[in-house]
Amino acid sequence: MTSVSIRGANILNVLRGNGAAQVYRQQSRKLHAVLSNRSVVRASGKDSEKLIQNLTTNDVKKVSDGQGQLTAFLKPEGRTIAFAFLYRVGEDLFFDVDKNALPDVLAAIKKFKLRSKITLTDVSQEMDVVAHWAGDEPIQNTLISIADQRAPEMGFRSIIRKEDIGNTALSDLKAYTVHRTMQGIAETSQEITIGGMPLEENLDLMHGVDFRKGCYIGQELTARTHHTGVIRKRIVPVSLADHIESEVSQIQHRADSRFELDQQLDNGGIDVRSEPLNKDPESASGRPSRGRSAGKLLSVVDNVGLAMLRLEQVNRWNKDLTMQITGKDKPIHVRPWIPTWWPENVQQQQ
């Protein structure tokens, strides 16, 4: 097992250089993974573009044939239902969405369908979503392939008919999940919970919202949050450690698949709490200190995960506070970091 310290932005390069994990080795070869947790839906009919345009955060009209974009379906009050990738293939629109969120997405579309001429068809039995995150070219024989613009190292995303996958060498879903987690990219319904705020889930940073497109369902809250510039918490990547060999500042990312979280991670997440570096073990009442709330741990794969954390506390980590979650027998230490692909003004946001 190899240990390397997290150094923010260049962590993938550090990991590659140290040969820390199989998923990061031989990055010159192509890595593909079928995203079996995604559903593919085709929207056809003359009113497809108009209806989807009125229901999603990005500008469908800017998507030409053979192109795609990240977008989101929101509730009328502006809270997230799900993120989705939308693609245009000829006269039809396709979108891929987390399987667990699909019923809510379809219900939201049908709620506003009225007399619109649109037919929604779940084609997941015929087509797969494939991610490709190494090498220069996407997988071949796809129905459509687009650059995944959520972060610089996300590669390509494709829809492909199942029979066309053929003998393509594939990585497993876990390899892709580790990769996007290290980039700080939330994607699943567990990470993007119904009722969350899309900008706290980094939809704006991932090019998933167009603030000039005009009206759509849920626009008011999203636009107001953007223009006030007050986003106090966001989803960030974290590293977990169940022991500290020296100081808290030496928590390392260990590419170790043997790490197991010793408690159930449900859709509500696990409380992350912060404490001063030089903490008083007891509060004024004489009871053990529980620290301050920092946010929620949303997902974990091996010893890395995604958490919704207060940015003010993330930026203070290791300066005057630490973070942890409560394990069954002992604390599990949490080390957050800000992805370096974030704009500088967001990285420093308090």
**pLDDT tens by residue, 3-56:** 322 333 333 332 233 333 333 333 445 789 999 999 999 999 999 999 999 999
19 vs 182, more confident: 182
Q: Higher model confidence: residue 290 or residue 166?
A: 166
Calpha distance 31→57 (Å, rounded): 30
Residues 74, 121 share a domain: yes
- Cβ neighbours, 10 Å, residue 281: 7
26 within domain boundaries: no
Distances (CA, A) of 214 to 58, 218, 233: 10, 11, 26
Domain, as residue range, for 314:
232-280+289-347
What whole-number percentage of the chain has pLDDT above 90?
Answer: 61
Query: pLDDT tier at 261 (50, 70, 90 boundaries)?
Result: confident
Inter-residue contact 5 to 13 (CB < 8 Å): no
Give the integer Cα–Cα distance in Å for 193 and 289: 30
238 and 300: one domain? yes
Q: Out of 63-72, 278-287, 304-313, which region has the weakest mean confidence (pLDDT)?
A: 278-287
Question: Are 203 and 272 within one domain?
Answer: no
Please check whether residues 208 and 166 belong to one and the same domain: yes
- Judged by average pLDDT, the poorest of 109-113, 231-235, 262-266 is 262-266
pLDDT tens-place string over residues 152-162: 999 999 999 99
Same-domain pairing of 261 and 192: no
DSSP class of 289: P
Q: What percent of the chain has pLDDT over 70?
A: 83
202/95 same-domain check: yes
- What residue type is 22 in one-letter code? Q
- C-alpha pair distances (Å), 50 with each of 90, 220, 266, 271, 309: 16, 19, 37, 41, 36
pLDDT band at 260 (very low <50, low <70, confident <90, very high): confident
Tell me if 102 is assigned to some domain. Answer: yes
Under DSSP, is residue 9 helix (H, G, I), strand (E, B) or coil?
Answer: helix
Query: How does pLDDT run across 203-248, given as a tens digit for each residue?
Result: 999 999 999 998 999 999 999 988 887 899 999 999 888 765 444 4
Q: State the Cα–Cα distance between residues 10 and 341, nearest whole angstrom.
A: 10
The two three-digit tokens of residue 93, written as one number: 């629109």
CA distance 101 to 83: 9
Is residue 23 in a domain? no
Query: Do residues 293 and 216 share a domain?
Result: no
State the Cα–Cα distance between residues 331 and 56, nearest whole angstrom.
Answer: 41
Same-domain pairing of 127 and 260: no
Q: How many domains does the chain have?
A: 2
Same domain, 170 and 219: yes
Please classify residue 187 by burial: count the beta carbons closer than 10 Å to its beta carbon, then call 0-12 exposed, 13-18 middle and 19+ buried: buried
pLDDT (tens digit per residue) in 199-215: 999 999 999 999 999 89
Looking at the structure, tell me whether residues 255 and 223 fall in a common domain: no
Say whether both 239 and 329 belong to one domain: yes
Give the distance from CA 221 to its chain's centroid.
21
pLDDT at res. 29: 56
CATH number of the CATH domain containing 130: 3.30.1360.120
Burial of 62: CB neighbours in 10 Å, binned 0-12, 13-18, 19+: exposed
User: Quick check: is 133 in a domain?
Assistant: yes
Q: How far is CA 120 from CA 51, 115, 146, in A?
A: 12, 14, 22
Q: Which is more confidently placed, 253 or 27?
A: 253
Q: For residue 216, is it within any domain?
A: yes
Question: What mean pLDDT, rounded, does the chain reach?
Answer: 84
178 assigned to some structural domain: yes
6 in any annotated domain: no
Q: What pLDDT score does 289 carry?
A: 54
- Predicted local distance difference test score (pLDDT) of residue 18: 30
Domain finish residue from 203, 227, 251: 227
Minimum mean pLDDT range among 161-170, 196-205, 253-262: 253-262
220/242 same-domain check: no
pLDDT at 43: 97
Q: Are the CB atoms for 303 and 239 separated by under 8 Å?
A: yes
Name the pairing type of β-strands 92-98 and 38-44.
Answer: antiparallel
Nearest to 199 by CA among 311, 98, 296: 311
Residue 210: the pLDDT is: 96
Q: What is the pLDDT of residue 12?
A: 31
Give the integer Cα–Cα distance in Å for 231 and 213. Answer: 22
Location of structure tokens 């506390």:
313
Q: HSE-up of 141 (CA within 13 Å, CB side)?
A: 10
